[in-house]
């Protein structure tokens, strides 16, 4: 089977010794979206294009998307793919994308069939998500329904002459405060789900968390477990710059972004999706996205691939493997195993109130400054209870950990892992 | 601040709006309200109007708290409250809204007027004077006043079914300090927005 352009470009970058860098970007109007893709393409080689969809389209409210596009296109928080219609989007992609600049559509919907169909007809190179990672945090859709529609969606993609590349969003549950062993396990399980439904070009995500050493350990665990469990050898790892509460200052944001770049290079990721200093305040402009890509590129070029903080040794790989195994032991298809595992609390995303999530597990940032479990719920993981109750104040402290660490690095040293 | 054992507790429903995928604000509010000794139903994020109305009919909360972060509060908030006020059994239920209610910080007075006129009992706008801290303090005052209105014997009937309680903290309400550094209502804002994919 012919390799899709997205997988091909990432492989070529790897051979050439370069990190692929990508931003998140979606605008309402066609002209602005086209200009954004051009600006990113022209920011340098080994960048990938992104079209992020608006929240009306994500929620299948196509009427509202069409109305807002007609009346206030600038107020849409992303690109209304369905409202624009396939011919217009196809023309834009033919004009902007190429084998050296493939474009990924990022959407966030637990019911992807309709947008997948439009992406296929418009000629998108890649998409992302997953039956768990786009259901539990973002929707009230039952997990079983998400699994059914993601199964059909993957099969639709797999039936194309050149199936598009699909990236799991499992490495980013709720953006922050989810211990890495569960992120790694969910990423591997969703990638296995994609392969089970016939897809070959897949990538696995991991979102930067709070401790560089722990993030190194997590990336190593993700690479190892993916190599062990996925068929073929063509998958790759994509790192997201931190997805939680962002620093308020420009310097703090740059420090956070700057820390994610060597993490990607030294941690063995082939692709990085950046954030911008505008993140804490509003949706970034085209120029801010292009500048963030250029900044990340300059940091990547100056990074020694063999340096960086030592990975921690917290047994993260073993814990992730135990979660994967406990899920697959339930038997049947990967989708069926995922549904059963969440129903029994063997997989349990901390703090996530979706009706199909047990919501018994709890996470914290411990004295070593690493993410850890404070309550295992029904999962086969090690938890150390916190000394006091989780209060609103404590939750705020946990959520703003990186904001404080990067806005005032001299005041917030990391804990010791001795 | 409230949270003393003497104030009668309220049955409070907390919810996001239909187009808002933000979640941490709801987790935060649930913890805060439980620390104040109240009995909380968390209706979750991306909550359709019909789900909110149905839950209020079932549970008869003493207060509905709407938390909005994605900037659509001024669009989606009025639609919800009109539907609530249009049903005779919910017309008198106290309903408040707070958070980041518009897409920019300029027109907060107009937002508050709009939402109050539409039927909300109070508006706690992050963008109003004093910022999120002041909004949270005013929310706390409102909560205390509402609890004080209740007669002592009228506490929550038995323990009603709650949606997805965060375990634990309610039992420790009496020992809670004031929220001090809690920095926003319904903060903290989180970047897992609808646009976060």
Tens of pLDDT along A12-47? 999 999 999 999 999 999 999 999 999 999 999 999
What is the structure's pLDDT at B126? 84
B35 belongs to a structural domain:
yes
Chain A residue at shortest CA distance from B191: A244
Contact call for residues A175 and A279 (beta carbons, < 8 A): no
Tell me the shortest Cα–Cα distance from A306 to chain B, in angstroms. Answer: 30
User: Mean of the pLDDT values across residues A235-244?
Assistant: 97
Per the structure block, which two tokens stand in for A237?
């790892």
Taking the domains of chain A in order of start, what are their residue ranges? 5-301
pLDDT of A189 strictly over 90: yes
Contact with chain A for residue B161, Cβ under 8 A = no
Q: Sorting pLDDT into bands at 50, 70 and 90, what band is A350?
A: very high
Tell me the shortest Cα–Cα distance from B154 to chain A, in angstroms. Answer: 27
Rounded to an integer, what distance in angstroms lies between the CA atom of residue A394 and that of residue B179?
A: 10
Q: Sorting pLDDT into bands at 50, 70 and 90, what band is A413?
A: low
Rounded to an integer, what distance in angstroms lies between the CA atom of residue A306 and that of residue A135?
A: 37
What is the structure's pLDDT at B128? 83
Backbone angles phi, psi at A191, to 5 degrees: -65, -40
Residue A310 vs residues A176, A303, A304, B130: alpha-carbon distances, Å: 22, 15, 14, 44
Residue A36's nearest CA partner among A279, A278, A286 is A286
Per the structure block, which two tokens stand in for B134?
């002041």
Residue B185 vs residues A278, A293, A392, B97, B189: alpha-carbon distances, Å: 21, 33, 11, 10, 9
Chain B residue at shortest CA distance from A171: B197
B184 belongs to a structural domain:
no
Contact with chain B for residue A59, Cβ under 8 A = yes
What is the structure's pLDDT at B101? 80
SS3 content of chain B, % helix, strand, coil (to 5): 40, 10, 50
What is the structure's pLDDT at B74? 78
| CATH number, domain with residue B145 | 3.40.50.280
Chain A 163-222, residues with CB within 8 Å of chain B CB atoms = 169, 172, 174-176
Place of tokens 């740059």: A254
Backbone angles phi, psi at A103, to 5 degrees: -120, 130
pLDDT of A249 strictly over 80: yes
What is the structure's pLDDT at A410? 75
Q: Of the candidates A55, A108, A176, which has its C-beta nearest B19's C-beta? A: A55
Ranges A62-66, A364-368, B34-38, B100-104: which has the least confidence: B100-104
Q: Sorting pLDDT into bands at 50, 70 and 90, what band is A160?
A: very high
Chain A residue at shortest CA distance from B182: A393
Per the structure block, which two tokens stand in for A2?
């012919």
- DSSP string across A27-48: -SSHHHHHHHHHHHHTT-SSEE
Rounded to an integer, what distance in angstroms lies between the CA atom of residue A60 and that of residue A73?
A: 17
Per the structure block, which two tokens stand in for A383?
């938890």
Q: For residue B127, list chain A residues with Cβ-Cβ distance below 8 A.
A: none
Compute the mean pLDDT over every residue in chain A, rounded to the nearest whole number: 94
pTM of the model: 0.89
Query: How open is the CA angle A344-B52-B143, to the nearest 5 degrees?
Result: 100
Chain A 119-138, residues with CB within 8 Å of chain B CB atoms = 128-129, 134, 137-138
Q: What letter would DSSP give residue A97?
A: -
Element containing residue A188 per DSSP (H, E): helix A180-196
Chain B residue at shortest CA distance from A244: B191
Q: Which domain holds residue B144?
A: 11-154
What is the structure's pLDDT at A344? 98
B30 belongs to a structural domain:
yes
- Percentage, residues of chain A above pLDDT 70: 98
Chain A residue at shortest CA distance from B31: A392
Number of Cβ within a 10 Å radius of residue A328: 16
Rounded to an integer, what distance in angstroms lies between the CA atom of residue B45 and that of residue B86?
A: 23
Place of tokens 């601040």: B1
Contact with chain B for residue A111, Cβ under 8 A = no
Query: Are A52 and B195 a contacting pair at CB < 8 A?
Result: yes
- Which range, A62-76, A110-124, B92-106, B118-132, is most confident? A110-124
What is the structure's pLDDT at B168? 29
CATH entry, A5-301, from 3.40.50.300, 3.40.1190.20, 3.20.20.240, 2.40.50.100:
3.20.20.240
Higher pLDDT, B177 or A302: A302
Residue A192's nearest CA partner among A72, A310, A332 is A332
Residue A147 vs residues A129, A157, B159: alpha-carbon distances, Å: 12, 15, 35
Chain B residue at shortest CA distance from A354: B44
Number of Cβ within a 10 Å radius of residue B6: 10
What is the structure's pLDDT at B191? 31
Query: Are A391 and B176 a contacting pair at CB < 8 A?
Result: yes
Q: Of the candidates A106, A244, A245, which has its C-beta nearest B197's C-beta? A: A106
Per the structure block, which two tokens stand in for B33?
């309200």
Rounded to an integer, what distance in angstroms lies between the CA atom of residue B120 and that of residue A243?
A: 33
Query: Are A52 and B163 a contacting pair at CB < 8 A?
Result: no
Query: Are B180 and A393 a contacting pair at CB < 8 A?
Result: yes
Residues in CB range of A237: below 8 A, 6 or more apart = A203, A204, A205, A206, A219, A222, A223, A226, A267, A268, A269, A270, A271
Helix axes A143-158, A180-196, angle to 10 degrees: 50
Contact with chain A for residue B51, Cβ under 8 A = yes
Query: Are B172 and A389 a contacting pair at CB < 8 A?
Result: yes
Rounded to an integer, what distance in angstroms lies between the CA atom of residue A19 and that of residue B57?
A: 54
Tell me the shortest Cα–Cα distance from B194 to chain A, in angstroms. Answer: 6
- DSSP string across B82-125: HHHHHSTTTTTS-EEEEE--SSSSS-HHHHHHHHHHHT-SEEEE
Contact with chain A for residue B75, Cβ under 8 A = no
Place of tokens 């705020």: A396
Query: Are A392 and B166 a contacting pair at CB < 8 A?
Result: no
Cis? peptide before B188, omega within 30° of 0: yes
Q: What letter would DSSP give residue A248?
A: S
Q: Of the candidates B19, B21, B191, which has its C-beta nearest A244's C-beta? A: B191
Tell me the shortest Cα–Cα distance from B157 to chain A, in angstroms. Answer: 24
Cα Rg for chain A, rounded, in angstroms?
20
What is the structure's pLDDT at A292? 95
Question: What is residue A217's three-state secondary structure?
Answer: helix
Per the structure block, which two tokens stand in for A114?
């309709």
One pLDDT digit (tens) per residue for chain B, 197 residues: 444 445 679 999 999 998 888 899 999 999 999 999 999 999 999 999 999 999 999 999 999 999 988 777 877 899 999 999 999 999 999 999 998 887 655 556 788 889 999 999 999 988 888 888 899 999 999 999 999 887 554 444 433 333 322 332 222 222 222 333 323 344 333 333 333 55
Question: What is residue A181's three-state secondary structure?
Answer: helix
pLDDT of A144 strictly over 90: yes
Q: How many domains does chain B have?
A: 1
Ranges A316-330, A380-394, B31-45, B98-112: which has the least confidence: B98-112
Q: Sorting pLDDT into bands at 50, 70 and 90, what band is A335?
A: very high
pLDDT of A115 strictly over 80: yes
Rounded to an integer, what distance in angstroms lies between the CA atom of residue B15 and that of residue B30?
A: 10
Distance of CA B164 to the CA centre of its chain: 16
Question: What is residue B14's three-state secondary structure?
Answer: strand
What is the structure's pLDDT at B181? 30
Chain A 89-108, residues with CB within 8 Å of chain B CB atoms = 106-108
Query: Are A169 and B197 a contacting pair at CB < 8 A?
Result: yes
Q: For residue B32, list chain A residues with Cβ-Cβ distance below 8 A.
A: 392
What is the structure's pLDDT at A133? 98
């Amino acid at each position: 089977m012919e390799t899709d352009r997205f997988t091909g470009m990432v492989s070529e970058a790897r051979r050439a010794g370069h990190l692929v860098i990508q931003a998140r970007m979606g605008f309402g109007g066609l002209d602005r979206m086209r200009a954004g893709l051009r600006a990113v393409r022209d920011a340098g080689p080994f960048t990938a294009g992104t079209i992020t969809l608006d929240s009306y389209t994500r929620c299948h409210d196509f009427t509202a998307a069409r109305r807002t596009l007609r009346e206030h296109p600038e107020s849409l928080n992303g690109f209304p793919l369905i409202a624009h219609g396939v011919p217009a989007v196809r023309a834009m992609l033919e004009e902007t994308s190429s084998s050296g600049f493939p474009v990924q559509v990022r959407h966030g919907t637990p019911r992807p069939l309709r947008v997948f169909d439009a992406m296929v007809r418009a000629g998108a190179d890649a998409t992302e998500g997953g039956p768990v990672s786009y259901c539990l945090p973002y929707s009230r859709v039952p997990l079983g329904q998400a699994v059914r529609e993601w199964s059909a969606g993957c099969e639709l993609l797999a039936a194309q002459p050149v199936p598009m590349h699909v990236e799991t969003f499992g490495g980013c549950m709720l953006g922050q405060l989810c211990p890495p062993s569960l992120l790694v396990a969910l990423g591997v399980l969703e990638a296995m789900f994609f392969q089970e439904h016939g897809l070959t070009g897949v990538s696995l995500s991991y979102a930067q968390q709070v401790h560089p050493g722990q993030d190194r350990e997590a990336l190593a665990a993700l690479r190892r477990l993916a190599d062990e469990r996925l068929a073929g050898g063509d998958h790759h790892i994509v790192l997201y710059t931190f997805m939680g509460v962002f620093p308020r200052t420009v310097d703090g944001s740059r420090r956070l972004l700057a820390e994610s770049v060597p993490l990607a290079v030294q941690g063995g990721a082939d692709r990085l999706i950046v954030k911008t200093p505008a993140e804490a305040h509003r949706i970034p402009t085209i120029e801010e996205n292009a500048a963030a890509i250029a900044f990340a590129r300059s940091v990547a070029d100056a990074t020694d691939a063999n340096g960086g903080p030592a990975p921690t040794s917290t047994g993260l790989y073993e814990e992730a493997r135990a979660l994967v195994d406990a899920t697959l032991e339930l038997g049947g298809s990967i989708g069926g195993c995922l549904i059963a595992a969440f129903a029994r609390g063997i997989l349990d995303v901390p703090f996530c109130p979706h009706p199909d999530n047990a919501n018994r597990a709890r996470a914290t940032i411990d004295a070593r400054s690493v993410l850890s479990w404070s309550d295992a719920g029904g999962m086969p993981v090690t938890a150390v209870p916190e000394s006091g109750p989780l209060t609103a104040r404590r939750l705020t402290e946990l959520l703003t950990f990186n904001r404080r660490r990067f806005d005032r690095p001299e005041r917030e040293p990391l804990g010791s892992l001795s | 601040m409230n949270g003393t054992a003497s104030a009668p507790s309220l049955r409070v429903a907390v919810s996001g709006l239909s187009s808002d995928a933000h979640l941490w604000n709801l987790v935060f509010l649930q913890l805060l309200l439980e620390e104040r000794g109240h009995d909380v139903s968390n209706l979750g994020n991306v909550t359709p109007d019909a789900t909110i109305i149905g839950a209020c009919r079932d549970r008869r909360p003493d207060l509905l708290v709407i938390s909005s972060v994605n900037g659509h509060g001024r669009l989606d908030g009025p639609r919800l409250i009109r539907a609530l006020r249009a049903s005779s059994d919910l017309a008198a239920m106290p309903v408040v809204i707070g958070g980041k209610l518009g897409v920019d910080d300029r027109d907060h007075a107009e937002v508050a007027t709009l939402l109050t006129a539409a039927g909300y009992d109070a508006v706690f706008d992050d963008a109003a004077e004093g910022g999120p801290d002041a909004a949270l303090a005013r929310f706390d005052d409102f909560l205390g006043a509402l609890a004080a209105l209740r007669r002592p014997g009228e506490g929550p009937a038995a323990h009603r079914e709650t949606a997805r309680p965060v375990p634990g903290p309610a039992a420790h309400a009496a020992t809670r300090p004031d929220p001090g550094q809690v920095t926003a209502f319904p903060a903290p804002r989180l970047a897992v927005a609808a646009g976060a994919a």
